[in-house]
Copies of this chain bind each other. A is one copy, B any other.
């Protein structure tokens, strides 16, 4: 349904692709910039931008006249999270876990062949893992990715391993064995696997029906994720995942 190839409106998809140009670190973009990124003619982009601007999703910076995200996004964001939602319900326990470990706590869900960080509580330490809510990351790398795959149906693992973006040298059988190990351990560890200098430990969060709903992770600089600390993190994150499961079961 949501594969984007059927029964959709091309003009709308193009406009949304323009909007997504602003989801990276770029703050302001000019018309030609955007046209290059989305590979459309300038005049088409100009019109699509005018449409986005007409509804407040895009605005023009008063000084530079470059395009920026509009305030309308703010208006919507309070409705993405809502009470009773997973991302809201888990926040107190994530905050408690952050206070216990003083590392950055993130909650990921799987969306297709990616994971999305839908909630985060950052460490207070000067050197910490920065955690942008909404960020999308691969599933085939990192502790949380492995947790999300370890408890997903085999078709999902297959789909991920068939993703063209996957490194050609990834050993499928070794990867499957890793997922088995994650299931046995009940958590996953990654040391500088996705990003140099960064490490994480993640545990699965199950809902009231025993279905995987999210991965809870603690992440930070790799030099703080060694031997005894890693085990301590694993215990704590696993315990919190169970507490969240109880909350979801009771709620």
A binding-site residues for B, Cβ under 8 Å: 1-4, 6-9, 11-13, 15-17, 19-20, 22-27, 46-48, 50-57, 59-60, 69-80, 82, 109, 111, 116, 118, 132-136
- The verdict on A50 contacting B8 (CB below 8 Å), with A71-B111, A118-B71 known, is yes
A113→B25 CA distance, assembly (Å): 31
Q: State the number of copies, please.
A: 2
Assess whether B13 is in contact with A77, with CB atoms less than 8 Å apart: no
Assess whether A73 is in contact with B80, with CB atoms less than 8 Å apart: yes
- The verdict on A80 contacting B69 (CB below 8 Å), with A12-B11, A47-B8 known, is yes
Which residues of B have CB within 8 Å of A8? 47, 50-51, 54
List the 6 shortest-distance A-B pairs measured between CB atoms, nearest first: A74-B134, A4-B54, A75-B134, A12-B51, A16-B55, A8-B51
Assess whether A6 is in contact with B50, with CB atoms less than 8 Å apart: yes
Q: Which residue of B lies closest to A71 (CB)?
A: B116
- What are 5 A-B pairs at a CB distance below 8 A? A1-B50, A4-B54, A27-B79, A73-B77, A78-B132
Which residues of B have CB within 8 Å of A60? 1-2
- The verdict on A19 contacting B135 (CB below 8 Å), with A13-B51, A53-B2 known, is no
State the Cβ distance, A56 to closest chain B Cβ, in Å. 7
- The verdict on A55 contacting B17 (CB below 8 Å), with A47-B7, A133-B74 known, is yes
Which residues of B have CB within 8 Å of A52? 12, 16
Q: Which residue of B lies closest to A43 (CB)?
A: B7
State the Cβ distance, A206 to closest chain B Cβ, in Å. 14
